[in-house]
Amino acid sequence: MEPGGSTRPDLLGASETKSDSTGDRARYDRFCDWYLTWIDGWSPGLVFDPTTGLVPAQLSGERWLDVGCGSGRASRELARRGASTIGVDIAASLIAEARAAEDNQHPNVTYVAGDITRPEQWWDGQLFDGATCELALMDIDDLDGTADTIARVLRPDGRFVASIVNPCFPGNEAGLSSWPPDRGYSAEGFWTSPEHNPDGARIRVGSNHRTLSTYLNTLISAGFSLERAFEPSNPLPYWLVLVCRRN
């Protein structure tokens, strides 16, 4: 369960690094209105769980990046904690919603529609103190390029806090967790949920299943060290949060 939010465990993030098969729209652009209704009322996210301190409560004077920011919930929370924030998402419709929701509440937040693996689209060359990615790495197709880019734009010892659907548990009829019901843990790749789960995000935008070792080895190869891992207390730990440091 997302702290302070819905009990629905099949939420995906709001970004991916390439357009859908039509070549003209990011996957979440096609379902923007549905997605915004679906997440209405959700808390800023797992990376901000007040019981864990995964993201510091006070970020004044710091500069943070929100990867796959979607409609900006995490970006606004970073700003509320004092950080100068850039939120990046490839779904232009969600960036438009983030800007509209901001309404000048946090002038230190900038939203950019762009590919996270192409920093020339959104980065001004100044290093970040930290980065978040709230339930979006499963949507991002180019995990290697994303990890490398985040490492590139973080200062040495900068923090990267990412939440993902726990990759260690199979899906079921409710569309829970990481891999399809008819496949095994080692069968990595893109998938969409079956039609008997019409109410979730995966039947609309799909998800990339990766093993835990793939996530960890990708982060290590990009230059990160794992500082901490966190799983919310549930009968099944649907979520996993990784806290990494830039070496």
pLDDT in tens, 70-91: 888 899 999 999 999 999 998 8
pLDDT over 90 percentage in the chain: 45
Does residue 30 carry a pLDDT above 70? no
CA angle 144, 145, 151 (to 5 degrees): 90
The maximal CA–CA distance of the chain, rounded, in angstroms, is: 49
Beta bridge partners of 26: 19
Task: For residue 204, count other CB atoms closer than 10 A to its CB.
Answer: 18
3-state secondary structure of 57: coil
Contact 133, 65 (CB under 8 A): no
Question: What amino acid is encoded at 157 in this protein?
Answer: D
* Per-residue model confidence (pLDDT) at position 18: 40
Quickly tell me which residue has 């004092």 as its tokens. Answer: 82
CA within 13 Å, CB half, 45: 31
**pTM score, whole prediction:** 0.82
3-state secondary structure of 222: helix
Q: Among 26-35, 114-123, 165-174, where is mean pLDDT lowest?
A: 26-35
CA-CA distance, 205 to 99, in Å (whole number)? 23
Q: Where are the beta strands (DSSP E) in the chain?
A: 63-67, 84-89, 109-113, 128-134, 154-165, 189-191, 207-209, 224-230, 239-246
In 154-194, alpha helices (H): none
Q: Which two tokens stand for residue 174?
A: 């409710």
Residue pLDDT, tens place only, 144-188: 999 999 999 999 999 999 999 889 877 544 445 577 767 788 989
User: What structural domains and CATH numbers belong to the chain?
Assistant: 27-246 (3.40.50.150)
